[in-house]
Structure 1
């Protein structure tokens, strides 16, 4: 029986280790507040897929308030697998953030529109915007 107990302890330790490793892999989010000075909104990006959502505090009658969250809308859903991050500008009246693909340098602007987060198509310096001056 003693050998069986040791086996159970090792198996339990292995299972716990796998759970911790799985949690570390699954916790691949980055959070950035909107730069707008009078807006209590935070954006979240899945660093592997680029999916963006946003949440903010909302008043609710006869309560301490509520958390209002906006799911991914057009352009804010999963992108090609890569390494994504969020960057807030320093523009005090800007409610959106930049989603940056760390591998390619491509960027898009994400913001809340109606009841969802939307993002512009990804662009980078190699593909200047229409009408933009080219070097």
Structure 2
């Protein structure tokens, strides 16, 4: 598995197996970094939210490359991945600003709306990228990776 290609290139297509391997890498990073942030800054603190936002920003391009190639395998432009990434960053920024939660860290009404939007996009991405097969045979983005 070429992880440079997986996380740093927008060229071509990847199948579901490569996508899930890439997602597993993000899960490991999120767990390790999340634990470090929780130890350093605590949970639901402004500093913790800022550090989490910074990590999310750092991981945007690798996530875009991974999801973009998977969208391309489905015959769609990589830019579709930006929908989920942009929503995620905006909601994280709103969290840092204290707009999506109260002083106790509980979601506000707007925070719940943001959560629902993220769930809808997450289900779409799960089905589109993680479950459905890519275009059979070559498409405009390259040969079939299967």
TM norm structure 2: 0.21
Judging by fraction of residues, say which structure has more helix: 2
Relative contact order: is structure 1 or structure 2 higher (C-alpha 8 Å, sep ≥ 6)?
Answer: 2
TM norm structure 1: 0.22
| Structure possessing the higher radius of gyration over alpha carbons | 1
